[in-house]
């Protein structure tokens, strides 16, 4: 019933045959990065021969057709780790928009001798995806990415240059130095999405030199 109402509301406001990635994501209340990740992982199809990326409206219908009763018990195992606010500020690209002091961290890179940084988590769920670190060489790592909205999800790989944030004070509280996942603005320079595992390891070796 809810799905039918969503479709009726959308049909009353637009008769679009296709969407840009940003429009596709906005229709689902998501950040544009979400749509691009679906494209890179071959989870949605697109038209690319006309000068810009267009996602057919039929793909939106297909995504909506994946709706099923929510089962919180099926995700209980993910909560074995403390919530992020207690774990420390290790941020992923598609998180909720961050204050300026956090987004600046994406531009700070390089290991600093004599400092100990809180490492990125080995596994994390964010934005409908699960990320699992499968390799690390120095300041570079590979995270295996799977989409949680499918029983048999395809797998893609995010190869990243790990960035660093020095410790700082918020009032009287001191936040320890920590490692940072590259943000959306630096994707393509400090982060790369690949669908082939061998290619991901080749990219890891390239950026870790």
Whether residues 98 and 42 share a domain: the answer is no
Q: Give 124's Cβ-side CA count (13 Å radius).
A: 21
Whether residues 48 and 90 share a domain: the answer is no
Rounded distance, CA 143 to CA 135, Å? 7
Whether residues 85 and 147 share a domain: the answer is yes
Confidence of residue 98 (pLDDT cuts 50, 70, 90): very low
Per-residue model confidence (pLDDT) at position 202: 95
Per-residue model confidence (pLDDT) at position 88: 40
Instruction: Give residue for tokens 């999800």.
Output: 153
pLDDT over 90, % of the chain: 19
Rounded distance, CA 204 to CA 41, Å? 18
Residue at a domain's end among 10, 37, 64: 64
Q: Is the pLDDT of residue 144 over 60?
A: yes
For the chain, give me the number of helices (H) and strands (E)?
7, 11
For 171, the domain range is 79-207
Q: What is the pTM of this model?
A: 0.51
Closest CA to 38 of 59, 16, 17, 8: 59
Whether residues 102 and 188 share a domain: the answer is yes
Whether residues 108 and 138 share a domain: the answer is yes
Instruction: Let me know if residue 73 belongs to a domain.
Output: no
Whether residues 93 and 169 share a domain: the answer is yes
Instruction: Let me know if residue 71 belongs to a domain.
Output: no
Range 79-117 burial, b when 16+ CB lie within 10 A, else e: eeeeeeeeeebbbbbbbeeeeeeeeebbeeeeeeeeeeb
Domain count, the chain: 2
Whether residues 95 and 192 share a domain: the answer is yes
Confidence of residue 36 (pLDDT cuts 50, 70, 90): confident
Instruction: Let me know if residue 32 belongs to a domain.
Output: yes
Instruction: Let me know if residue 70 belongs to a domain.
Output: no
Whether residues 34 and 94 share a domain: the answer is no
pLDDT over 70, % of the chain: 71
Instruction: Let me know if residue 89 belongs to a domain.
Output: yes
Whether residues 100 and 155 share a domain: the answer is yes
Beta-strand relationship, 55-56 and 18-19:
antiparallel
Rounded distance, CA 197 to CA 102, Å? 31
Instruction: Let me know if residue 104 belongs to a domain.
Output: yes
């Amino acid at each position: 019933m809810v799905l039918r109402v969503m479709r009726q509301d959308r049909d009353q406001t637009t008769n679009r045959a296709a969407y840009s990635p940003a429009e596709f994501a906005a229709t689902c209340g998501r950040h544009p990065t979400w749509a691009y990740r679906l494209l890179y992982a071959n989870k949605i199809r697109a038209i690319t021969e006309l000068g810009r990326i267009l996602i057919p409206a039929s793909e939106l219908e297909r995504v909506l057709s994946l709706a099923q009763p929510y089962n919180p018990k099926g995700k209980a195992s993910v909560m074995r780790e403390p919530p992020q606010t207690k774990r420390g500020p290790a941020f992923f690209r598609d998180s909720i928009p961050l204050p300026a002091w956090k987004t600046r961290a994406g531009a700070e890179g390089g290991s600093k001798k004599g400092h100990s940084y809180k490492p990125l988590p080995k596994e994390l769920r964010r934005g409908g995806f699960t990320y699992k670190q499968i390799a690390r060489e120095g300041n570079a790592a590979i995270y295996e990415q799977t989409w949680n909205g499918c029983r048999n999800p395809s797998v893609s790989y995010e190869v990243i240059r790990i960035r660093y944030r020095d410790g700082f004070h918020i009032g009287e509280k001191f936040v320890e130095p920590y490692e940072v996942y590259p943000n959306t603005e630096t994707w393509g320079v400090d982060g790369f999405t690949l669908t082939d595992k061998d290619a991901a390891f080749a990219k890891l070796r390239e950026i870790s030199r």
